[in-house]
Amino acid sequence: MSRVPCAHACAVIKLLHGSVYEFVDDCYKLSAQEKIYASSMRPIATHDCPRPEALTVTQMMTGTFLQPPITKRPSGRPKKRRIESQFQSKKLHHCGRCHEPGHTVKTCQNPNPS
C-alpha cells in the first residue's frame, strides 16, 4: 500500500538476484527528493569543517569527533518524579503513648506519660 516492499518481498527479490530499488515507488527515490527540495534547500558553506576523505589515521585518532549519545537504560523500574502540590499537606504523626505530634511510639522519649 505504501509502495515500499516489505522485508519478505525484499528477501524474495534478493533471492532472485533482482534490485529492490526497482520495486520502490519513484517518490521515495533520491532523484524525486532532489526535484522536490531543489528550490528550497540552500547549501551550507563548509570551509572550516574537516573532510573525512582527507584525514589520516593519526588525525582520526587524535581528533575530537562528535560521539553518539549513551542510550543505555538503567535496570529496574523507573523512579517516580512526582511534583507535590503546594496545597498538599504532609501527614503529621502522633505518638500512641503520649499523644504528642512529631514522633511515634518507637521513637518516643517519654516512656511513662502521666
Q: What is the pLDDT of residues 58-77, one digit of tens each?
A: 666 666 666 777 888 878 88
Tell me which residue has cell 537504560: 73
Distance CA 99, CA 105 (A): 9
Mapping DSSP to helix (H, G, I), strand (E, B) and coil, where does residue 101 land? Answer: strand
State if pTM tops 0.85: no
Question: What's the mean pLDDT in 5-26?
Answer: 88
Give the closest residue to 107 by CA, choosing from 7, 96, 9.
96
Question: What's the mean pLDDT in 88-98?
Answer: 80
Mean pLDDT of the chain: 78
Q: What is the pLDDT of residues 47-59, one digit of tens each?
A: 666 666 666 666 6
Q: What percent of the chain is modeled with pLDDT above 70?
A: 76
